[in-house]
Amino acid sequence: MTSPASHARHFPWGAVLWPALLLLALWPGTLPRLAQPFSPGALLTFDVPLWRLTLIHLGLVLLATAVVVALGVPLAIAVTRPGREALRHLTETLASLGQTVPTFAILALAVPLLGFGWAPTLLGLVAYGLIPVVSNGIAGLRMVDPGALDAARGMGMTGSQRLLRVELPLARAVLLAGLRTSMVYNVGTATVGAALGAGGLGQPIINGLSQQNTGLILVGAVLAALLALSLDALLGLTAPSEAGPTRR
C-alpha cells in the first residue's frame, strides 16, 4: 500500500496551480492593477477583454496542435516502416533544419501567400509545431524493443495490429513529450501572430512595444507564460506514470 508521502509526491500539483493562477490573473482588474506601476504614464485599459484574448490565443494553439497531430504522427509512422531508411533520414534532416529557421521568418513568408489574420499564423504554427512531434515520433517508434515486435509477430499479429497494440503504446511517452514541447512552442509563437492581425495575447505585447508601455507588455507576457505552463501541466496528466514500489 502506498504511503501518504508517496501520494503527495505523485499528485499533479502543477495541473492545479498553473490553471488556478491563470484564472486569477484573468479575474477582471487583477493583472492590470498589478502591472499598473510599470505603466505610470497611462491607465492600463483593453479594448478586448483579457479573457477573450486568452480564448483566441488558446483556440489558435489548439487548432494548430490538432493539425500537427493529424500530420505529424502518420508521417512519423510512415517513415519508420521497414525499408524506408532513406526517407526517415531525409525527414530527420529536414526537421533538424526546420529548428534553425526563425519563427518570424516562417510567419513572414506565409503573409504573401495567405494575407493577414489567422491563416498565415496557423500555417506558421503548424510548420513550427511539426518539428518536435515528428522528431519525437520517429525516436519513440525506433526505441520499441525488437523483441516485443518479434513476440507480437509470433502471436500472429498483423502489421496494423503490431502498430496499434505494441509500437504506439510503447512509444506513447516519447510522443507525448514531443506534443507537449510543440504546444508550449506554439503558445509563444502565436504571440508573434498578433503582428499579422491574428489577435490573441500578443496584442497587448505588440501595443506595449509600439507605445513603449512596459505594463502592457507584462500583461501579455505573463498571461502567455501562465497559459503555456497550464497546457504543459494538463498534458502531463496524460503521460504514463511510473509505478513505484508498494509498501505494506
CATH classification at residue 62: 1.10.3720.10
Residue 210: inside a domain, yes or no?
yes
Residue 149: inside a domain, yes or no?
yes
**Which domain does 60 fall in, by range?**
51-236
Contact 125, 196 (CB under 8 A): no
Residue 166: inside a domain, yes or no?
yes
Residue 65: inside a domain, yes or no?
yes
Distance CA 3, CA 248 (A): 9
Note the pLDDT of residue 247. 41
Contact 54, 223 (CB under 8 A): yes
Note the pLDDT of residue 116. 77
Residues 6+ apart with CB under 8 A from 13: none
Distance CA 236, CA 228 (A): 12
Residue 17: inside a domain, yes or no?
no
Residue 15: inside a domain, yes or no?
no
Residue 243: inside a domain, yes or no?
no
Q: Whose CA is closest to 77, among 164, 148, 173, 176?
A: 164
Half-sphere exposure of 93 (CA within 13 A, CB side): 6
Note the pLDDT of residue 92. 81
pLDDT tens digit string along 133-169?
A: 999 999 999 998 888 888 888 888 888 888 888 899 9
* pLDDT tens digit at each of 248 positions of the chain: 445 554 455 667 778 888 999 999 999 888 988 888 888 777 788 888 999 999 999 999 999 999 999 999 999 999 988 888 888 888 888 877 766 777 677 777 777 777 777 788 888 888 888 889 999 999 999 998 888 888 888 888 888 888 888 899 999 999 999 999 999 989 988 998 888 888 889 999 998 888 888 999 999 999 999 999 999 999 888 876 544 443 43
Distance CA 54, CA 212 (A): 22
Distance CA 68, CA 124 (A): 11
Residue 31: inside a domain, yes or no?
no
- The CA–CA distances, whole Å, from 128 to 121, 193, 214, 231 equal 11, 13, 28, 18
Number of domains, the chain: 1
- Take residue 10 and report the three cell numbers written for it: 505523485
pLDDT tens digit string along 112-137?
A: 777 777 788 888 888 888 889 999 99
Distance CA 58, CA 53 (A): 9
